[in-house]
Chain A
Amino acid sequence: MQLVDTVMSLLSLATMGASDAALAGGAASAHQLGAEPTKMGPLALLIPLLPLLSVVLITLCAVFKVKSKLPAWITVASLATAFGVTVSVWQQVSATPGAHVSFGYEWISFSWGNGVGQSFAGNFSLYIDQLTCYWMLFVTGLGALIALYASEYMSHDVGPGYNRFFTAFSLFVFSMACLVMGDNLLMLFLGWEGVGLCSYLLIGYFYQKPVAVDAAKKAFVVNRIGDLGLLMGLLTTFAVFGTIEYKEIFKAISTGYTSSGIALQGHWSGIVIPALLTAGAFGKSAQLFFYVWLPDAMEGPTPVSALIHAATMVTAGVYLIARMFPLYTVDPNLLVLSGVAWAGAITAFWAATIAMAQFDIKRIMGYSTISQLGFMFAGLGVLTTTGATFHVLTHAFFKATLFLCCGAVMHGFAGQLDLRKLSGVMWMKGWGIVGVAMLIGCLNLAGFAFTAGFFSKDMILAQAFVTPDTKIIGSSLVGWLLLLTALLTAYYTFRVFFRVFVGPVQYEPGDEHHGADDHGHGHGDHGHGHGAAHAPAHDKGHGHGHDGHGHGHGGEFHPHAPGWAINFVLAVLAVASIAAAGLYFVNKDEHGWAGHMMARSSAKFVAPGEHHGDHAAAGHTAPTDEKVADAAHASAGEKSAKDEELGTFLGQDPHKVMYYVSGVLGLIGIGVAFLLHKQGRTQAATSPLAEKMLKAPIFGTLAPHAQRKWYVDEIYNFLIRVPLLVLGHIFHIIDKLFVDGLVNLAGAVPVFTGHSLRSSQSGVMHRYAAGMAVGVGLVLLLAVLVMI
């Protein structure tokens, strides 16, 4: 115990310096839900507009057929600038308490009267509080870094493909900015579907691969199903609140009555609206029934997987719930949040079991993303928005690192991703940075003690036990499930590391030449072109690699080590992954930096019914410091405002023991992975012990099924897709029969020859008139039926 405390205080000392002035400035201010937001200048609008400008510029590049890396530099520059603007906006927002709004223009806004709820305002405007800043800081920051990485990663496709990639990339950041910064649900929806489009375009980037096209389609369609929930949530919100603007919704919640006077306490909307929004969140964040699209999405280029399908877009669901958290806490029983907690925990566990048995390292990372998102949702569910959002942040860094490392491997080994065919990558020349970065990422993901991932996961785990089961149904069971998942996570993470990055050096190249957008002149040509174009830019070994890579299957294969951009980005991200741990110690009294930010945003947890009382008591006066501290505590749920019975972990204070429990679990997982995948392994194949395990009765029978992903895709196909297709065919046949067949059956008309006008005149007129009559008859019948 003492050891931990000492280390922590040391760490906190080390990171104190890093905590900047902005944090100190905002310390005294608290977020008063429902208070009128401060108006803000147009500076913040630059954050979405800069990526949009980049989209326009790169489109021009495409029009003028630019064949250089210019699009990448435009993207990097615009995103880096956007990051700068975000920092400055954040400073500005921190200086004054409460939320800020920045008006853009009226998008879909109209009115049909002067009364309450008789106008609809879906404006292009921004709502900025600390939650917004928190999200945009890592979206723009990571965006810029990953764009830099992609500038090298996508260099095979310089030309139309490169332009296409960076257009979609910039458009993605624009959409993400709309999603996070919009001041109403409609703008969130704009961003929501916008990121979906970019995800579609980027997953399907290698559009000549049918798998990629199918994966893209699947992602879009599954997301659309969730989007229906979001859309209905939006409409129901409007029906109940008469507005979709956050500030108005929060105002209503803080007073307990909507602007038209509906009492929210006990109102059905307290369950229905959050449930609908949650459906949207599950779709985007690949939870529960909706997760199937995310593993397939790994068909996209790896920078895309890192940015969109690990760090930013898939966390949009977490953002949505954090943003609308006051709405989730209207219901005194917190039913929807219980559901969220369980959904998160089950998804986390489920995805982890699948990840354990996969062989494709990118797929493993994909399933691990689903699993980690499950942790975040469970965190939201057990009322620690701080833990959830902190995990979002740490996960964004370490998972981006992991993906980009996988990408580097894929890039270097001609698309090889099978962990059975790669070994000892770390020991190869030029792969040091990748190996170290991978190790750091893996330690974080495995929850190795004192890493950022350890702290963020720990907050969620501890809170699951702290939150009483009476408040969130089965909260401690959620905690146990998550603990088990944490163990599995450590195992499958280091399974990848021990097999691919350490051990004897051995590899088998993949059969993929990258992308091949618009230069389908065959492999030889491809390699040639590259050697010529990029020889000056790369070191000696590199050029070789390209040639060999281009010729692919032929002669000897040399993996080509990553260049400066990839190495630089990996180094930065690896450092950031470590440094993120320090954020846990900044603002320690408010449960870290994330807690500090959340306490000043709508994500602050206030127990149901407290909004109203709080507001009535405090009115609009500035809250005292005491209240801030209270709110912060409530936000982490450590101390409830009322003297409620808090949960325990085996009779201990979860906050104290969880460090040890999860730390030890992480070590066990890593140890098992070591035994199974490192110990005694002499080549890039399964180790002797693992061989033996696979012959064991339980593992032996389960593993192949887990490897086939528990057949969920097949089940969906059978239960949903096929019936709908059959229905489509049936309708189509009926549609044809409706005009032609029915009449034919009546035998009134001779067979239609269809070739001469004369015969068709005599026959067809008759038939169509009859068909018409049938249609009219059906309408009349329907009309009569409805009237009755």
Chain B
Amino acid sequence: MLLSLMIIPLVAAALVPLVSKRQVPWVALFGTLAAMVPAGSVLTSVNWTAAGTQRLEERYGAWLPDLGIALNLRVDGVSLALVLLTALLGPLCVLGSWTAITQRVRTYYGWLLVLQAAMYGVFMSQDLVIFYICFEFTLVPMFVLISLFGSTNRKAAAIKFFLYTFTGSIIALAGLVYVAWFHATQMSAAPVVASVVNAATGASESAGALAKVSAWTFDIPTLMKTAQQMPLSAQSWVFLAMMLGFAVKVPLFPLHTWLPLAHTEAPTAGSVVLAGVLLKLGTFAIYTFGIGFTPMAAVEYAPVVAGLAVAGILVGGLICWVQTDVKKLVAYSSVAHLGFCMLGMFAMNAAGLQGSLLYMINHGLSTGALFLCIGFMYERYHTRSMHEIGGLAKRMPIWATFMVFFSMASVGLPGLNGFVSEFLCVMGAYQAEPTKELSGLTGGNLGWKYAVLAGVGMIIGAIYILYMVGKVVWGPLKEPHHDDAHGANGHAGAHAGGHHEGALPADLTGREIVTLLPLAVLCLGLGVYPKPLMQVLEPSVNDHVRLTSKARAELRELKGLPAEDRAIYLKNQFPGKGAEGGTGGEGEKKQAEPAKSTGDFTETGK
């Protein structure tokens, strides 16, 4: 079932050269739609909202047994959400490109399908090598899509994109290989340690892998357990390597400079996939490996990463505000948005991680939709410059409705999806105060300052998005001069006009509405009732919370700091202060011996 997710797009891609040019988009559409079937059955075959970690695992045996490389696929809550997002965006990308791509359709749709398969592979792979192959392989289709189907500056953009991200992932690979090497050397040298580790962490299925004679393995759960045993220094290096690689993909400020160009130059579907899924490869990898493999280093350097994330939110947002190219504006907004995602992730508490994971999905929906909207506009006017177009609400009311709707989702308006994730990320950052002196705090090494700065980013978000909406959607109607004939079209109906885009009416067609509608429904649905998705993500989030709080405790021990449990913390800080009498509250809170000392603490510690 999981493998078929990858095979179906590949089969469709193989069919592309065999059918007539006219049929190619249909093949791509059916290929991507067919992939939704296994994706849907993954969703229904497991009760994902049940308590405990739910997962679906499929093993297809060893690929290179000597090196311990095996084709194992697994879907848990997090990858399920991302797989579903990929499956959803697939057909929408095809529909969105229907009329935009008229040349070299075979190349276009073929690579689009291959890209789908590679993205599924990244999210499902349980083997580091397979993961890495898929991760890198997404570059090739994307490179082709940008360099052949992009706009004027496409070649430079494609090369920049390729080199930047490729260089990044090579560094990440070095880190990942080190982990495998560490496993191979450490585990063969000291198998006892391995079994101890195993027993201690209560591993289940990976126990078999450890017991094998060959110490080389790339099984991710196995490596994860080993990697977590690495000393802080080793973890730090591995973490740094991984961050350099994956943060480029995210992109984390200041490694984001490839993104605006790539986004702007890419064809619509390329931008949608890029924003919707490809950026999430980076965040997904950081979530899985950056935190999963090296939790101690992640805890240690969380302020650095979160600081960069906040810088991205603010700088990215301000840069958005001075753009004149609509698409570039949305592209830069991704830098700001992914900043929120990273901030939440490195808060490393329930709220932050939930928010971060939700952000991956929500950003894919709302920004993907914005790119589609802009693509539809571009098809009609052949410009994205806010100097040349404006007030399109008059000409394209349906389009304008969608545009405003998705802008609001992007701004993080409560009731739409963006808010849930943005709020949780900011809340997570707030709660991650270094001390747990207050009950609502979870401990960590961020704090309210990060939350306030990110909150300022929310204001800037409103400024630039409304700036864009105010220019493009509202205001007096402004259309490019050379398209006068088309303007007349809009007035009279859809008859005259010699341009090939003359086939498109002034406002959105049924196909385009069908493309945007699922995204709108999801934006609203996930904003109004995010609970099911949050439940799906919860087990993984809880695992990570446990992992990082354990790492934090170890780190404190390493540094000789007192443990940060609230009661202990207060006792250490204010010994003997809890004896004073007081009529504090109801009986149930009477066990709060430390509770009273809290009162004292807050008075004295102010």
A residues with CB within 8 A of B: 105-112, 115-117, 120, 160, 186, 189-190, 192-194, 197, 200-201, 204, 207-208, 210, 213-214, 216-217, 220-221, 224-225, 228, 231-232, 235-236, 238-242, 255-263, 265-268, 518, 520, 616, 724-725, 727-729, 731-732, 735, 738-739, 752, 754, 757, 760-761, 764-765, 768-769, 771-772, 775-776, 778-780, 782-783, 786
Contacts and interface: CB of A to CB of B under 8 A. Distances in A.
Given A260-B439, A782-B307, A760 B254 contact: no
Main secondary structure of the interface of A (DSSP, over half): helix
B339 to A, nearest CB: 14
A221 B466 contact: yes
Given A217-B467, A725-B322, A262 B430 contact: no
A221 B321 CA distance: 13
B477 A208 contact: yes
A731 B318 contact: yes
B62 interface: no
Interface stretch (B22-30, B114-122, B418-426): B418-426
A194 B415 CA distance: 8
Given A228-B459, A255-B586, A204 B474 contact: yes
B67 to A, nearest CB: 29
A732 B319 contact: yes
Interface of B: 153, 155-156, 159-160, 163-164, 167-168, 171, 240, 243-244, 247-248, 254-255, 257-258, 260, 301, 303-304, 307-308, 315, 318-323, 349-351, 354, 391, 393-394, 397, 404, 408, 413-415, 419-420, 423-424, 426-427, 430-431, 433, 438-442, 448, 451-452, 455-456, 458-459, 462-463, 466-467, 470, 473-477, 528-531, 534, 538, 542, 545, 582-586, 589, 592, 594-596, 598-600, 602-603, 606
A515 to B, nearest CB: 12
B414 A110 contact: no
B350 A112 contact: yes
Contacts of B439: 115-117, 239-242, 258-260, 262
A105 B529 CA distance: 9
19 contacts: A108-B534, A110-B351, A111-B350, A112-B545, A193-B419, A238-B427, A240-B439, A240-B440, A257-B599, A259-B585, A259-B589, A260-B592, A266-B603, A739-B258, A764-B156, A772-B167, A772-B248, A772-B255, A779-B308
A782 B308 contact: yes
Given A208-B475, A241-B440, A261-B589, A779 B531 contact: no
A262 B595 contact: yes
A268 B307 contact: no
A267 B603 contact: yes
B476 A210 contact: yes
Contacts of B156: 752, 754, 760, 764
A173 to B, nearest CB: 14
A56 B32 CA distance: 32
Shortest 4 CB-CB distances between A and B: which pairs? A261-B595, A263-B599, A117-B439, A260-B439
Given A217-B470, A731-B318, A772-B167, A256 B430 contact: no
Given A110-B350, A235-B430, A732 B167 contact: no
Nearest to A258: B439
Contact of B254 (A208, A210, A778): A778
B558 to A, nearest CB: 15
B530 A268 contact: no
Given A213-B475, A268-B606, A772-B167, A194 B459 contact: no
A721 to B, nearest CB: 9
Given A193-B414, A261-B592, A235 B606 contact: no
Contact of A221 (B420, B459, B582, B599): B459
Contact of A261 (B354, B413, B455, B598): B598
B257 A189 contact: no
B283 to A, nearest CB: 17
A474 B508 CA distance: 61
A727 B431 contact: no
A217 B600 CA distance: 47
B164 A110 contact: no
B475 A727 contact: no
B603 A775 contact: no
Contacts of B530: 107-108
Contacts of B451: 232, 235
A221 B463 contact: yes
A207 B606 contact: no
Contacts of A268: 602, 606
B456 A228 contact: yes
A757 B146 CA distance: 13
B602 A262 contact: yes
A154 B43 CA distance: 48
B602 A263 contact: yes
A776 B244 contact: yes
B531 A109 contact: yes
Question: Which of A725, A735, A778, A786 neighbours the largest number of chain B CB atoms within 10 Å of its CB?
Answer: A735
A261 B594 contact: yes
B475 A728 contact: no
Nearest to B160: A768
Nearest to B530: A108
A728 B322 contact: yes
A100 B534 CA distance: 29
Contact of A772 (B164, B260, B354, B442): B164
B325 to A, nearest CB: 12
Contact of B159 (A194, A260, A764): A764
Given A616-B583, A728-B322, A738-B257, A108 B423 contact: yes
Contact of B255 (A105, A108, A260, A775): A775
A783 B349 contact: no
Given A224-B459, A231-B426, A752-B156, A255 B585 contact: yes
A232 B545 CA distance: 23
Contacts of B397: 160, 518
B176 to A, nearest CB: 17
A242 B164 CA distance: 44
A771 B351 CA distance: 36
Contacts of B247: 779
Contacts of A115: 439
A786 B529 contact: no
A270 to B, nearest CB: 10
Contacts of B413: 193-194, 197
B599 A769 contact: no
Nearest to B538: A110
A213 B440 contact: no
Contact of A757 (B155, B168, B258, B320): B155
A145 to B, nearest CB: 26
Contacts of B595: 257, 260-262
Question: Which of B308, B354, B470 neighbours the largest number of chain A CB atoms within 10 Å of its CB?
Answer: B470
A239 B432 CA distance: 10
Nearest to A191: B414
Given A263-B596, A725-B322, A783 B467 contact: no
A609 B213 CA distance: 71
A238 B440 contact: yes
A779 to B, nearest CB: 7
B130 to A, nearest CB: 26
Contact of A783 (B304, B350, B433): B304
Given A193-B414, A775-B254, A110 B319 contact: no
Question: Which of B452, B474, B534, B589 neighbours the largest number of chain A CB atoms within 10 Å of its CB?
Answer: B474
Contacts of A765: 159, 163
Given A105-B529, A213-B474, A764-B159, A262 B598 contact: yes
Contact of A208 (B394, B427, B538): B394
Contacts of B440: 117, 238-242
Given A107-B529, A220-B466, A207 B475 contact: yes
A197 B153 CA distance: 37
Contacts of B592: 260-261
Contacts of B248: 772
Contacts of A217: 466-467, 470
